[in-house]
Amino acid sequence: MYSGRNGRLHNRQLSCKRLHLLNLGMHVFTRWRGCATLAADFRPGVRKPVLIIGLASLLLACILVAVLLRWRYRIILLRALHTLADEQEAALRKLRDALAVAHAEIAQLTTHDDTDRDAPVFAEAMREQLEHRLWLRDHAAKAPLGELSAARDAWRRSLRSLVRDSSVLAEAQRSVQLAQSTLTR
């Protein structure tokens, strides 16, 4: 290497040194005298396996991330299904109790005693709830994500329907209580 004034390298040697450091297996040609093409430094037997190993590692990392994301999504779906099952069961019990109170109030005002009329409907609903919970326990871990997502959406619709029915029943109870209060005056 030649040094110029103050011990610094000439531009031509400095550029050549940088090009050698940046050699990534590409053919680089330069005009500088004393700096040969970097094609001589290109060793196909050394860089190709490194590149292949790097790409394979990147592909493996992408696959691993995709698998982990699917696993996380499955866990989120299962938690949502269990939470919805709990909420649906609580809403169903609350609706059953509110309906029993409404039937008792109606029975006080009228001569009809049909408090047990809805018992089979609620028994069937609780049986279906139990079947869904058993399916969750036995098959949800191996079920496809689409099936889990569809089950979650169906339970959400069902829960919304139960909440809507509960609000309609509460409004009917208020109407019955208002009618009862006007009759007792």
Residue ranges per structural domain of the chain: 5-41, 74-184
pLDDT > 90 fraction of the chain, expressed in percent and rounded: 21
* Token code pair at residue 70: 């699917």
Task: Please say if the pLDDT value at position 174 is more than 60.
Answer: yes
Q: Return the ∠ at Cα 89 (arms to 129 and 93), rounded to 5°.
A: 115
Number of residues assigned to the chain: 185
Give me the torsion for CA of 146, 151, 156, 160, rounded to 10°: 140
Q: Determine the pLDDT at residue 73.
A: 94
24 versus 100: which is more confidently predicted? 100
Q: What is the pTM of this model?
A: 0.60
Instruction: Please give the DSSP secondary-structure letter assigned to residue 140.
Output: T
Most confident of 51-55, 57-61, 109-113: 57-61
Q: Residue 156: which of 97, 107, 87 has the closest Cα? A: 87
Task: Please say if the pLDDT value at position 30 is more than 50.
Answer: no
Q: Residue 38: which of 51, 48, 26, 50 has the closest Cα? A: 26
84's enclosing H/E stretch is helix 44-109
Longest dimension (CA), the chain: 117
91 versus 105: which is more confidently predicted? 91
* Token code pair at residue 82: 């269990």
